[in-house]
Amino acid sequence: MPRASLSADAVVAFALETVDEAGAAALTLSAVAARASVATPSLYKHVRGLAELRDLVSARIMDDLADEVGQAVLGRSGEEALRAFMRAWRSFALRAPHRYAAMLQTPEPRTAEAGERLLDIIRAALRAYGMTDSAAVHMARCLRAAVHGFAVLEAEGAFGLPESTDDSYDLLVSMMAAGAGAQRATS
């Protein structure tokens, strides 16, 4: 009989606690079972295995990221929205680096809805630049690569020089805004 308070959502919550405490590599079924005070086989009543659990965790993290980015961009457009998008994404990654590292970067069905929400947010900002269709896809990819790359490097302590990472990020944001503006000029 499954533990009364255990559900797929509860298993994901225990998994997120594990990730927060010990990092993405620590996410195992046995670690989650220990945190839930159940035997590892009991988890199989709620998730099919570690792969499914990682997918569910990733979907929850991406959904949280989409919520945060969406709130930051709400009521803004154009460059102001683009800047808010980039700042909110970085803030999320730095505030929850273990969760961010646990987020799968490849599309998968469980993250599709949250991923689509993130894309909708950035597409809305890019419409103010006159970008739609493939131009918006290309620019969204560039934005994601820039934000993700910077945030991962920063979270891992890869920027060892004494200059402010905030100043460096502001430069990156300005470069991306200028690039979006240049795309508008060529469209």
| pLDDT tens figures, 138-176 | 999 999 999 999 999 999 999 999 999 999 999 999 999
| CA–CA gap between residue 27 and residue 24 (Å, rounded) | 6
Number of domains in the chain: 2
In this structure, are 66 and 41 located in the same domain? no
Q: Would 52 be classed as within a structural domain?
A: no
In this structure, are 127 and 68 located in the same domain? yes
Distances (CA, A) of 38 to 5, 32, 174: 11, 9, 50
The three-point CA angle 153-157-163 to 5° equals 90
Q: Would 27 be classed as within a structural domain?
A: yes
The model carries a pTM of 0.91
| CA–CA gap between residue 14 and residue 5 (Å, rounded) | 12
Confidence of residue 111 (pLDDT cuts 50, 70, 90): confident
Residue 115 predicted with pLDDT over 50: yes
